[in-house]
Structure 1
């Protein structure tokens, strides 16, 4: 369409739409996710009308470089923003199709992931990113998730607002059907660019939009309203699930974030699934999609003591040890071979940071002995107390309750002197008094810190 960036003379923005755009969470700055299509262009004009001059307003255009008119769309977004006096950030992205999906649907999901990653990088504290999703998009999302086997959380649809990066994402047009927004944009004389891929029914959402939803609406004219009621009911149910999990986590989780196996065993199957779901989700880890959560829970809770049951996720695992379920992040890589710790330097060993620092007032002529960093090879011993007996490291690990999966990765520190070695520290669990406290014996303090993020 061809039209100026300013609304047509005599046009008045509908108050209902304006009220929704004005009703936003507290913010310091507004961004509009501008694709160049009708919905986002309309939202940009509404935001300028309602907020410009009161708070900084900007736009973000993600060029996925997938369509033949991607350059024209970017140019249109730049021109529209210039005419409105709105600064725009344009970010090209390279879309890599997910390995688990084939066909256009894989590209669709990969493009979404790419643009949301940019949004997260750009948003700062106090920023709101406004997106132009509307009621028809919500209906498509619900049907799409229903067909993918989503549970209550998926059928709740897209929330009006949620955290995104350091800021917040808000969808102020979610209550409005697209037909009304189209009429509003045309009456205002706005211009936009049609995405040619929107007509391609090889994309799942386009197939729902063009082939399925029109037939459903012809049979049930109030479909969008009915789906809205379903979405609200599912959202309320999801809130109750979260509330229940929060209460149970308060009872069954210790200060280290572990879950009591005995406590989880006492729950019903549905409660266990819900609790594990929210436990993983609140840790910031993506919840794995599993066909049978019940079987997974049984394996974790009831496997024999001689087994080490494990649930693998993206970037983490759930393990069981000594009556607790542990949420364990995937370990960082550590050197393939031993390294020597030099005085005054900081060394990264997997998730550990290590340094050897001089003690204040120590004799500067007292040179630090070389310290070799290694991992357990078998047969190591340590002397936990000065003058006390030596202990086998394997036995000491068991007594200290060190989980089996941590023992092979625990950094060991050996002081080297005249061809002989002495184990002087084990991770951040124990350090010989030669290298701890005031460290009068060595004149150097060994500092071992663990990155828990």
Structure 2
């Protein structure tokens, strides 16, 4: 634990620190991400001085359970908030070490994801979550992404303001160097906890912080601010890239969230890459990392009509069907076996929700109704006066993309051996189970959430 002198009273924070904390977007509530370190403790005190008694202020501490002093740090955060009269929310998370990748770098990334999931679950509409990242953190981020081969978007570093869950995230101290923050923290006699993992150079960022940046700063004393300005310039370039992508989207998209293959082919390769990255970010996914964009776009746009080319990325894939490219979220798992559909007990099936409700003669006999996926050979009769047709041919006629056909919930009435197909997802439902007065006395309702 590190401290200056014993905390005094009536300390006047300088405008250098208060101005960026006061200059926040419109909000109904403020949250401070409190790790217990110098930066976040300083931010907590600044927010308390500038905003307490004006808007509700709270703090959130995420306990990753990774360090021996995790419990001590949590207790310290509780003491700090209690002394300031600030409510504290503690979220204890479990970092899956087995799936976090090789080495401490993988654990570091897994912990970051767990932390942000906790933040996203906390903030509500009109909430702001404030984080204490500063100019040194920004420099480390830019250098780290440069080493990883990031493009302009990555080299823009951490944004000062961005959406987070239903609210937004703000980094008000991003223009200030850590040395400035430490000077004022000691001046105010603040106390904080030093994370022992910050000295472990097995973490990439710590290696940059301790082994690389000191030498660079000794050679170029203004390095941190220079990198901040470079990140700002990259950020401006990315804004222009996003603006271009948004304009081109209007000419290549079809109004249903799909992109025309012909429209994409008309763009240059850099424009195609820019549009795909923008498209992914607009849906909340990270931009895809691709080794050979030329080959990927050729496969996606020029493969034969009998092919099903696919670009897989983190959380989604791009797939082509009938002259369009679709952004397809990575599907969730479906039940392994058929599920019985009972009144008052809705069934979730991927993005679909199915429910059965009585509308007349609820005491009348109800055949067993179950939900399943395709097994092959299913037939349906879309109208009593028409002959039946295979489900396979009907789905093709409806232009349902191939990757969706195997996941559609099929609803059967009757026994497992000779049940009648009465609904296909939200695409079709038998008249006997739909409408204002279904003949079966039961109404089947199938809805689909937006992907």
* TM-score, scaled relative to structure 2: 0.91
Task: Call closer, same or farther: CA 1:98–1:119 in 2, change over 3 Å.
Answer: farther
Q: Which runs of 5+ in 2 are unaligned?
A: none
Deviations 1:224-257 (A, max 9, x none): 2221221111001111111111112222222321
How big is the alpha-carbon RMSD for the aligned residues of Structure 1 and Structure 2?
Answer: 2.6
Residues 101 and 406 of structure 1: is their aligned pair in 2 closer, same or farther, counting only changes over 3 Å? closer
Aligned equivalent of 2:218: 218
User: Is residue 292 of structure 1 aligned with residue 292 of structure 2?
Assistant: yes
Q: 1:193 to 1:334 in 2, by over 3 A?
A: closer
Q: Report the counterpart of residue 233 of structure 1 in structure 2.
A: 233
Matching of residue 182 in structure 1 with residue 182 in structure 2: yes
Structure-2 residue corresponding to 1:137: 137
Q: Quote how far apart the aligned CAs of 1:41 are.
A: 1.7
Q: Secondary structure of 1:434's partner?
A: helix
Q: What does 1:143-162 align with in structure 2 at a 5 Å threshold?
A: 143-162=143-162
Report the alpha carbon displacement of residue 388 of structure 1 after superposing the two structures with TM: 2.3
- In the other structure, the counterpart of 1:437 is 435
Partner Cα separation in structure 2 for residue 365 and residue 132 of structure 1: 63
Q: Which residue of 1 aligns with 2:421?
A: 423
Tell me the distance in 2 between the aligned counterparts of 1:436 and 1:169: 45
Q: In the TM superposition, what is the alpha-carbon distance from 1:420 to its structure 2 partner?
A: 5.4
The 1:67/1:246 distance shift into structure 2, 3 A limit, reads same
Compared CA separation, residues 344 and 141, structure 1 to 2 (3 A):
closer
Q: Cα gap change, 1:21/1:415 in structure 2, threshold over 3 Å: closer, same or farther?
A: closer
Count of matched residue positions in the alignment of Structure 1 and Structure 2:
450
User: How far does residue 372 in structure 1 lie from its aligned partner after superposition?
Assistant: 4.6
User: Are residues 1:309 and 2:314 paired?
Assistant: no
Contact 1:343/1:368, CA 8 A, preserved across alignment: no
| Partners of 1:60 and 1:216 in 2: CA distance | 35
Q: Deviations over 1:248-291 (max 9, x none)?
A: 22222223211111111111001111111111221223333221
1:408-451 Cα offsets, whole Å, 9 max, x none, are 3333334439x855433333222332333245543333322223
State how 1:38-117 maps to structure 2 within 5 Å.
38-97=38-97, 99=99, 101-117=101-117
Structure 2 counterpart of 1:386:
384
Distance in 2 (alpha carbons) for counterparts of 1:393 and 1:5: 77
Shift of 1:18: 1.2
8 Å contact 2:4–2:187 — kept in the other structure?
A: no
State the alpha-carbon separation in 2 of the partners of residues 344 and 194 from structure 1.
54
Q: Give the equivalent residue in structure 2 for 1:119.
A: 119
Structure 1 regions of 5+ residues with no counterpart? none
Tell me the SS of whatever aligns to 1:138: helix
Number of the residue aligned with 2:365: 367
Q: Secondary structure at the match of 1:25?
A: coil
- SS of residue in 1 equivalent to 2:403: coil
Match of 1:402 among 400, 403, 416: 400
Q: 1:350 to 1:155 in 2, by over 3 A?
A: closer
- Give 1:127 shift: 2.0
1:363 CA displacement:
5.0
Task: State the distance in 2 between where 1:99 and 1:277 align.
Answer: 26
Q: Does the CA-based 8 Å contact 1:7-1:190 persist in structure 2?
A: no
Compute the displacement of 1:61 (Å): 2.2
Structure 2 CA distance for partners of 1:226 and 1:379, relative to 1, 3 Å: same
